[in-house]
Structure 1
Amino acid sequence: MDGRIRFGVLGCSSVARRRTMPAIAACPEATLSVVASRDPEKAKAFAAEFGCAAAGYDELLEHDDVDAVYLPLPTALHGPWGAKVLAAGKHLLVEKPAATSADETRELVRAATGADRLLRENFTFLHHPQHARVAQLVADGRIGEPRTFTGEFCFPPLPDGDIRYVPQLGGGALLDAGVYPLRAAQLLLGDDLRVVGGALRMDPQRGVDVAGQALLVSAGGVFASAQFGFQHAYGSRYTLWGSAGRIVVDRAFTPQATWPPVLRIERQDHVEELTLPPAHQFLGAVASFAAAALAGRTARHPAEQAGLASMVRTAELVDAVRHAAV
Structure 2
Amino acid sequence: MSRRLKWGVLGTASITRRRFMPAMLKSRNAEVVALGSRDIDRARAFAGEFGIPRAYGSYEDVLKDPEVEAVYIPLPNHMHAEWTMRAADAGKHVLCEKPMAVDGQEAFQVASHCRERGVTLMEGFMYRLNPRTQKVKEVVVSGMIGEIRTAIVQFGFTINREGNTRLIPGKGAGSLMDVGCYCINFSRYIFGEEPAWALASRRVDPDIGCDMSTSAILGFSGDRTALISCSFETYFRSEIEIVGTQGILRAARFFTPPEQGKIGFTVTTDNDQVHEFEFDAVNQFLLEIEHFSECVLEGKPVILDPLVDAVGNGRVIDAVRKSWDTSCRADVAPV
- In the superposition, the TM-score normalised over structure 2's length comes to 0.92
2:21 aligned residue: 21
The match for 1:5 is 5
Match of 1:180 in 2: 182
1:163–1:169 Cα contact (<8 Å) kept: no
Aligned counterparts of 1:162 and 1:186: Cα–Cα separation in 2:
29
Q: Structure 1: which 5+ residue stretches go unaligned?
A: none
Aligned residues: 322
Q: Any gaps of 5 or more consecutive residues in structure 2?
A: 328-335
Amino acid paired to 1:62: K
Q: What is the CA-CA distance between 1:190 and the residue it aligns to?
A: 1.9
Is the CA contact (8 Å cut-off) linking 1:154 and 1:234 kept in structure 2? yes
The alignment-based identity, stated in percent, is 31
Q: Note if contact 2:98-2:123 (Cα within 8 Å) is conserved in structure 1.
A: yes
Change (3 A) 1:254 1:304: closer
Contact 2:63–2:90, Cα closer than 8 Å, also in 1:
yes
SS of structure 2 residue aligned to 1:308: coil
Query: Residue in 2 aligned with 1:67?
Result: 69
Aligned to 1:279: 282
Q: What residue is the counterpart of 1:246 in the other structure?
A: 248
Secondary structure, aligned partner of 2:38: coil
Q: CA deviation at 1:11?
A: 1.0
> Does structure 1 residue 288 correspond to structure 2 residue 291?
yes
8 Å contact from structure 2 (residues 102, 171) kept in 1: no
In structure 2, how many angstroms separate the alpha carbons of the residues matched to 1:294 and 1:80? 25
Task: Check the 8 A contact 1:195/1:214 in 2, yes or no.
Answer: no
CA displacement at 1:279 relative to structure 2:
1.5
The residue identity in structure 2 corresponding to 1:197 is L
1: CA distance between counterparts of 2:171 and 2:76? Answer: 6
| Structure 2 residue aligned with 1:312 | 311
Matching residue's letter, 1:280: N
Counterpart Cα distance in 2 of 1:319 and 1:152: 19
- The answer as to whether partners of 1:195 and 1:324 remain within 8 angstroms in 2 is no
1:151 to 134, 150, 153: 153
Q: Work out whether residues 120 and 308 of structure 1, in 8 Å CA contact, stay in contact via their aligned partners in 2.
A: no
CA distance in 1, matches of 2:19, 2:173: 21
Q: Could you report, residue by residue, the CA deviation over 1:85-127 in whole angstroms, capped at 9, with x for unpaired residues?
A: 0000000000000011111111111111111000000100111
CA drift at 1:158? 2.2
Q: Who is 2:330 aligned against? A: none
> CA-to-partner distance for each residue in 1:120-146, whole Å, 9 max, x for gaps?
001001111111111221223221111
Q: CA deviation at 1:264?
A: 1.4
- One-letter amino acid matched to 2:91: G
> 1:298-317, CA deviations, whole angstroms, 9 ceiling, x for partnerless residues?
xxx5x678453111100100
Alignment of 1:111-190 (within 5 A): 111-168=113-170, 170-190=172-192
- 1:43 alignment partner, SS class: helix
Aligned to 2:86: 84
